[in-house]
Amino acid sequence: MKKNQDEIFVQIPSYRDTQLIYTIESLLNNAHDSTRLKISICWQHDKSETLTKEILNSANINIIDIDYRESKGANWARSVAQKNWDNETYTLLIDSHIRFSKKWDIKLINMLIELQNNGISKPILTGYPPSFDPKSFPKNKSNYPLKMYVEGYYFNLLTKFNGQPIPYFKWIKSPIKAHFISLGFLFTIGNFNREIPFDPNIYFYGDEITTGLRAYCHGYDFFHPHRVIAWHLYDRTTRTPHWENHNNWHILDAKSCQRIKRIFKGVEYKNFPLGKTRSISDYEEFIGYKLIENE
């Protein structure tokens, strides 16, 4: 059977999140063509948490059912979901607590094609979506796109970022250049899944910067959408963070930080290549920050 040229592989890591069902429904209901979506969900949950029959029985949704006690963290879950990529043309990575604007799929595809037509061979559309409140949505949602900035270092490693409103966004006609990627919202060409496999050994802090560094070194260019495509729930009270259930999280985090530092110094781990198109120093020059503070 011939594949749809505009298929989108959607990856959703979800850890004990009450918003997952609503995220899937918003994803499907607001797509211009929901049949183009091939959804892979790493569903980490306990026995009391359920999904609807429609979701469980959907031919376009692959549920990877995992006992939450077996989870090893967010980037591990991303690596699990990513393995279901089957050469779909585009890929979308999102968190499990998202709402979408109408025809979000058309908007993202058109933005990506525009960038490609302007000579950007491997563009990534990414960023921190503005916030929403699930109790009042669609009211009281933020209606301005955000740009990512450095927030700080964690154990001397550049790993923390925040989003601030893009000035005069209503007058901007196309996506704006970005320095960093968000793993809560990332849209790009499907081949990203072959070139940039998610590193399951990165626990939490450092997942975005190490993935972004590797993508940049592989020749990807980052852009923030100049229009609001989705909204993100930043309040964690509707979900259980991984570290609340796993007493060994600090061990995982310490090992992760050691790995991040070695990656920043140029160590290439098997199956997770840094890329040869650009160098680590190229990326540091591009962002204007050292990846390791005080070294």
pLDDT tens-place string over residues 46-99: 999 999 999 999 999 999 999 999 999 999 999 999 999 999 999 999 999 999
- Pair 142, 45: CB distance under 8 Å: no
In a domain, 273, yes or no: no
- Pair 225, 115: CB distance under 8 Å: no
Give the number of domains in the chain. 1
> What are the angstrom distances between the C-alpha of 195 and each of 181, 220, 267?
16, 10, 17
- The strand pairing partners of 90, in sequence order, are 8, 189
Angle between helices 280-287 and 207-217 (to 10 degrees): 110
In a domain, 274, yes or no: no
pLDDT tens digits for range 166-221: 999 999 999 999 999 999 999 999 999 999 999 999 999 999 999 999 999 999 99
Domain carrying residue 22: 8-200+219-247
Q: In residues, how long is the chain?
A: 295
- Dist CA 64 CA 97 (whole Å): 18
* Prediction pTM value: 0.97
pLDDT tens digits for range 27-61: 999 999 999 999 999 999 999 999 999 999 999 99
In a domain, 104, yes or no: yes
| Averaged pLDDT for residues 230-251 | 95
Q: Find the CATH number of the domain harbouring 130.
A: 3.90.550.10
In a domain, 158, yes or no: yes
pLDDT at 3 over 70: no
Provide the CB-side half-sphere exposure for 233 (13 A, CA): 23
In a domain, 137, yes or no: yes
In a domain, 24, yes or no: yes
User: Tokens standing for 202?
Assistant: 């990165």
- Dist CA 275 CA 116 (whole Å): 21
Residue 292 DSSP symbol: B
pLDDT at 239 over 80: yes
Q: How confident is the model at residue 4 (pLDDT cuts 50, 70, 90)?
A: low
| Averaged pLDDT for residues 260-269 | 97
pLDDT at 1 over 70: no
In a domain, 255, yes or no: no
In a domain, 149, yes or no: yes
What 3-state class would DSSP assign to 279?
coil
